[in-house]
Amino acid sequence: RRLAVVGSGFIAAELGHAYGALGSQVTFLVRSRFLKSEDPDAAAAVERVFRQRHQVLLGVHPVSISHDADRGFTLLCEGPAGARETVEADALLIATGVQPCTGALNLAAAGVACDARGYIRTDSRLRTTAEGVWALGDIIGRHAYRHTANVEAEYLERTVLLGKDEGPLDYGPVPHAVFTRPEIGAVGLTEPQARAAGYGVVVFRSDYADASNAGLARGLEEGFVKIIVERGTGRVLGAHVVGEEAASVVHLFIVLMKKRGTLKDLRELIFIHPALPEVVRDAIRGAAVGEAHT
C-alpha cells in the first residue's frame, strides 16, 4: 500500500512510477534533484508531474531505517538545515546506484583485469586482458542499456564468430529513455554539457500542446522537444523529448546525429500530419527566421 523509494535516478523513477500507477502511495526520498543526469528542463518536467502524483521529499536522505512486522519500515530522514522527519512504508526500494558483481568471480585467476571501479577492462574491440576472452554489457561499465548490450553482442558475433574485420566498435550517438509518465527520450549532450564543452549553443524548443501538432488533437498538456544546436554550423549536438512517445520521437535525432546532420536537414523533411514528430518541425521553424533562445 505504501512504498518508500530512496534514490532519484531512472531506476527509482521508473519503478516508483510503476507502483504508483498500480495504486501504491509512493514517497521518493531525493538527496539532490530528480534525474540529475538528464537535461535540467527534462528532469524538471518529470519532477513537476511526480510532485503532483506522489510525495517527493527533496534534499533529504535516510539516517536510519528500521523494520517492524506490524508497522513495516520506518525511515528517519534528515533534510536541509538538519531538519528531520519520519517516513513509514510497507515496502522499501533502495535505488541509489549500481555496482559491478565482479568481486565474486575470481577474474584475476583467469587473467581478466578490472578497473578501479570493479568493471571489466576492455579495449575498443571488447577484448579483455586475457587472450580469447571478450566482455560486453553492463559489466564493462560503458553504457548500462539493453540496446547497447545488443549492439556489442552483434559486433562480437560478426567479428569473433564470423571472423569479419570491422575495426573498433562504433557506438555512434547512444540514446536512452526513461519510461515514466511523462516519458523521456534523449540522445547527445544536455544543454549544460554542451556549454561546458565550449560550444556556442542555440536552443530550440516546442511544446506538445502547440496547436500545430498532434498534441492538441490528443489533448496532451505536458511534453516538449528541446534541441541543442551548435551556433554557426547548425549541427545538432543533443535532443531531449519529454511526453507521450518520447522514446520513439527521439529516434529522428539519432539518425540525424549519426550522419552529423544540421537544422537544414531537418527543415527539408516532410512530416506526417497529424503525428507527434511534427513537434520537432515546430521547434525548428524558428531557425529559418532566427527565433531561438540562447
Which are the catalytic amino acids? 273
Q: What are φ and ψ of residue 158, in 5° steps?
A: -70, -45
Report the helix count and the strand count for the chain, using DSSP H and E.
9, 12
**Sign of the CA dihedral running 143, 202, 32, 8:** negative
Which residues partner with 101 through β-bridges?
none
- Angle formed by the axes of helices 10-21 and 40-53, to 10°? 30
CA angle, 126 as apex, 124 and 129 as ends, to 5°? 100
For the chain, what percentages of helix, strand and coil (3-state, to nearest 5) are there? Answer: 30, 25, 40
Burial class (CB in 10 A: 0-12, 13-18, 19+), 272: exposed
* DSSP 8-state class, residue 211: T
How are strands ordered across the β-sheet holding 236-242?
Answer: 175-178, 184-188, 236-242, 224-230, 201-207
Q: Are 130 and 110 in contact (CB under 8 A)?
A: yes
